[in-house]
Amino acid sequence: MSGTGDRPPAGASSPREGLELSDQEAAEYIASILEGLTQVASSARMSFLAYLINIALEEAKTEKTRRRGS
């Protein structure tokens, strides 16, 4: 996101408006966004924010794995 305020992180394509995502697709999208946000917070030396975002990232990964088996 360096230099652009409207571009999602690498690997995070925006869901199309009106497109219904499956639970697993939603978890994957959320995880990809959170990965980018963790990097941004770390680069900006916002260690506590990076920590909190990383907790959310781990939860999204858990959901992704859990929903894969559903």
Which amino acid belongs to residue 36? G
Cα 41 from chain centre: 13
What residue segments make up the domains of the chain, in order of their start? 23-68
pLDDT of 20 reads 86
- In the chain, % of residues over pLDDT 90: 54
Give 3-state DSSP helix, strand, coil % of the chain, rounded to 5.
Answer: 60, 0, 40
Instruction: Report yes or no on whether pTM surpasses 0.75.
Output: no
What confidence tens digit (pLDDT) does each residue in 32-48 have? 999 999 999 999 999 99
- Looking up tokens 């305020």, which residue turns up? 5
Cα 33 from chain centre: 3
